[in-house]
A and B are shown apart, each in its own frame.
Chain A
Amino acid sequence: MATDYDIRLEIAYRYETPAGSSRTLLRMLPLTSAEQTLISGFVDTDPEPDFRRDSADFFGNATTELAHDRPLTEIAFRFAGRVRRLGGAPGLDLSTDLARLHGDIAEVVGIGPDAPHHFLGESERIRHESRIAAFAAELVQPDMSALSATCAISHAVHSRFEFDPEATEVTTLPIEAFEARRGVCQDISHVTIAALRAVGIPAGYVSGFLRTTPPPGQPRLEGADAMHAWVRAWCGAETGWVEIDPTNDIVVGADHIAVAIGRDYADVAPVRGSLRTEGTHTTVHRVDVIPCNDPVG
Chain B
Amino acid sequence: MSSAGHLKDDPAAALLRGYRPPPGVADELLRPDGSVRPVWQPLIDLLAGQGAEDLSQRFARGDQHLHDAGVYYRQHTSSGSTVRDWPLSHIPVMIADDEWQRLSEGLVQRADLLEQVMADLYGPARLVSQGLLPPELVARNREWLRPVVGIRPRSDHFLHFVAFEVGRSPDGSWLVLGDRTQAPSGSGFALENRMATARVFPDLFPAANIRRLAGFFRAYRDAMNALRGDAGRVAILTPGQHSDTYFEHAYIARYLGFLLLECEDLKVERGKLTVRTIDGPQPVSVLWRRLDSRFADPLELDETSALGTPGMVAALRARELTMLNCLGSGVLEARALMAFLPRICERLTGEGLKIPNIATWWCGQAAERAYVYDNLQRMMIGRALSTDLPFEVDASTALGGDFRGTAQKPIGDWLETDGAKLVGQEAATLSTTPAMIDGELVPRPMLIRVFAARTPDGWVVMPGGYARIGRTEDPTALAMKNGGSVADVWVVSDDPVTPDSLASRQEGPFARRLPGVLPSRAADNLYWLGRYVERAEARVRELRAYHLRLEEVGHREMPVLAHLERYLDGFDIDPDEPVPAAILELFEAAQGCAGKVRDRFSTDGWHALNDLAFTARGMYNRVRPGDEAARKMTELLRRLAGFAGLVHDNMFRFSGWRFLTMGRALERADQMLTLLAAFADPEAPPGSFDVAVEVGDSVMTHRRRYPMATSCCTIVDLLALDAGNPRSVLFQLDVLREQEAMLTTVKEGGPMSDLARRILLLHTALSVAAPEDLTPARLLALQKDLREVSDTLTARYLS
Which residue numbers of A lie inside 8 Å of B, CB to CB? 21, 23-25, 50-51, 53, 55, 57-59, 65, 67, 69, 108-112, 115, 117-118, 120-122, 124, 266, 269, 272-274
Closest 4 CB pairs of A and B: A117-B139, A121-B140, A58-B146, A274-B310
Chain A: CB-nearest residue to B140: A121
Given A23-B311, A109-B135, A115-B135, do A274 and B298 touch, yes or no (CB 8 Å)?
yes
Chain B: CB-nearest residue to A266: B303
Q: Select the residue from B140, B302, B303 with max chain A CB neighbours within 10 A.
A: B303
Interface range on chain B: under 10, 10 to 19, 20 to 34, or 35 or more?
20 to 34
B314 within 8 A of A: yes
Inter-chain contact A110/B135, CB cutoff 8 Å: yes
Inter-chain contact A53/B271, CB cutoff 8 Å: yes
A58 is contacted by which of B129, B130, B142, B149 (Cβ under 8 Å)? B149
Inter-chain contact B139/A111, CB cutoff 8 Å: yes
Inter-chain contact B311/A67, CB cutoff 8 Å: yes
Majority DSSP secondary structure for residues of A touching B: loop
Inter-chain contact B310/A117, CB cutoff 8 Å: no
Q: Select the residue from A110, A111, A120 with max chain B CB neighbours within 10 A.
A: A111
Q: Which residues of A contact B129 (CB under 8 A)?
A: 109-110
Q: Which residues of A contact B147 (CB under 8 A)?
A: 57-58
B136 within 8 A of A: yes
Given A58-B147, A110-B129, do A272 and B299 touch, yes or no (CB 8 Å)?
yes
B128 is contacted by which of A109, A122, A273 (Cβ under 8 Å)? A109
B140 is contacted by which of A55, A67, A120 (Cβ under 8 Å)? A120
B269 within 8 A of A: yes
B509 within 8 A of A: no
A274 is contacted by which of B131, B149, B299, B317 (Cβ under 8 Å)? B299
B138 within 8 A of A: yes
State the total of A-B contacts with C-beta under 8 angstroms. 72
Q: Which residues of B contact A272 (CB under 8 A)?
A: 299, 303
A23 is contacted by which of B135, B150, B303, B310 (Cβ under 8 Å)? B310
Q: How far is the CB of B327 from chain A (nearest CB, A)?
A: 14
CA distance A111 to B149 in the complex (A): 11
Q: How far is the CB of A205 from chain B (nearest CB, A)?
A: 14
Chain B 133-161 interface residues, beta-carbon cutoff 8 Å to A: 135-136, 138-140, 142, 146-147, 149-150
CA distance A50 to B267 in the complex (A): 14
Q: How far is the CB of B302 from chain A (nearest CB, A)?
A: 7
* Chain B 283-324 interface mask (CB, 8 Å, partner A; 1/0): 000000000000000111011000000110010010000000
Which residue numbers of B lie inside 8 Å of A, CB to CB? 125, 128-131, 135-136, 138-140, 142, 146-147, 149-150, 267-271, 298-300, 302-303, 310-311, 314, 317
A67 is contacted by which of B125, B135, B269 (Cβ under 8 Å)? B269
Given A57-B147, A110-B128, A272-B299, do A115 and B139 touch, yes or no (CB 8 Å)?
yes
Q: How far is the CB of A117 from chain B (nearest CB, A)?
A: 4
Q: Which residues of A contact B314 (CB under 8 A)?
A: 53, 65
A117 is contacted by which of B136, B142, B146 (Cβ under 8 Å)? B136
Q: Which residues of B contact A65 (CB under 8 A)?
A: 311, 314
CA distance A57 to B125 in the complex (A): 17
Q: How far is the CB of B198 from chain A (nearest CB, A)?
A: 47
Q: How far is the CB of B247 from chain A (nearest CB, A)?
A: 29
10 residue pairs of the A-B complex, CB under 8 angstroms, read A25-B299, A53-B271, A58-B150, A69-B269, A110-B129, A111-B138, A112-B125, A117-B136, A118-B139, A121-B140
A58-B150, A273-B299 are known; give 12 further A-B pairs, CB within 8 A: A21-B267, A25-B299, A25-B300, A50-B270, A53-B271, A55-B317, A108-B135, A111-B139, A112-B125, A117-B138, A122-B140, A274-B298
B125 is contacted by which of A111, A124, A274 (Cβ under 8 Å)? A111
CA distance A51 to B310 in the complex (A): 14
Q: Which residues of A contact B298 (CB under 8 A)?
A: 274
CA distance A274 to B142 in the complex (A): 23
Given A23-B299, A67-B270, A117-B140, do A111 and B311 touch, yes or no (CB 8 Å)?
no
Q: Which residues of A contact B128 (CB under 8 A)?
A: 109-111
CA distance A122 to B146 in the complex (A): 14
Chain A: CB-nearest residue to B142: A122
Q: Which residues of B contact A23 (CB under 8 A)?
A: 268, 299, 310-311
CA distance A288 to B128 in the complex (A): 43
Q: Which residues of B contact A51 (CB under 8 A)?
A: 269-271
Q: How far is the CB of B272 from chain A (nearest CB, A)?
A: 10
CA distance A24 to B136 in the complex (A): 31
Inter-chain contact B303/A110, CB cutoff 8 Å: no
Q: Which residues of A contact B311 (CB under 8 A)?
A: 23, 65, 67
CA distance A115 to B146 in the complex (A): 13
Q: Which residues of A contact B268 (CB under 8 A)?
A: 23, 67
CA distance A274 to B303 in the complex (A): 9
A121 is contacted by which of B136, B310, B317 (Cβ under 8 Å)? B136
CA distance A124 to B270 in the complex (A): 28
Q: Which residues of B contact A21 (CB under 8 A)?
A: 267
CA distance A57 to B147 in the complex (A): 7
CA distance A53 to B272 in the complex (A): 13
CA distance A111 to B123 in the complex (A): 11
CA distance A115 to B142 in the complex (A): 16
CA distance A121 to B130 in the complex (A): 22
Inter-chain contact B140/A124, CB cutoff 8 Å: no
CA distance A110 to B121 in the complex (A): 11
Q: Which residues of B contact A25 (CB under 8 A)?
A: 299-300
CA distance A40 to B130 in the complex (A): 40
Q: Select the residue from A53, A65, A273 with max chain B CB neighbours within 10 A.
A: A65
Q: How far is the CB of B260 from chain A (nearest CB, A)?
A: 22
CA distance A67 to B310 in the complex (A): 10
